[in-house]
Amino acid sequence: MSPFIELPVSANVKTLMGVYTRKESPSVFAPVACELPAGRRISVQAAVVGDAVQGNPHWYRIDDETFIWSGACTQIEPCPEFPPCTRVNWTAVVFEVR
């Protein structure tokens, strides 16, 4: 289980674009775990609040220490609703994408 604010879910999603998964934290600054192509189906264990990318701070935890940004995937139905106290008011700025 991650130390981040998360809601347990059990769902499958599909990547909408090529995307990096991240080790250890839902952050664009976390080390890259692997690169997934568009159309890859993945299992989701939790919805997590992390770095906001393009205004969206929601990530999916896909195993104990691997995260993927939810904006690069199809949406979980029904979409988990985070409590208002967990919403973030900042955005990560990425100068170089790896």
pLDDT of residue 43: 95
pLDDT at 76: 87
Residue 93 pLDDT grade (very low, low, confident, very high; cuts 50, 70, 90): low
Is the model's pLDDT at 98 over the cut of 60? no
Asked if residue 37 belongs to a domain, the reply is: yes
**Would residue 94 count as lying in a domain?**
no
Tell me the CATH number at 62: 2.30.30.40
If you average pLDDT over residues 36-48, what whole number do you get? 94
Q: Is residue 91 part of a domain?
A: no
- Residue ranges making up the domain that contains 24: 6-86
Spatial CA neighbour of 14 closest among 84, 70, 98, 93: 70
CB 68 within 8 A of CB 62: yes
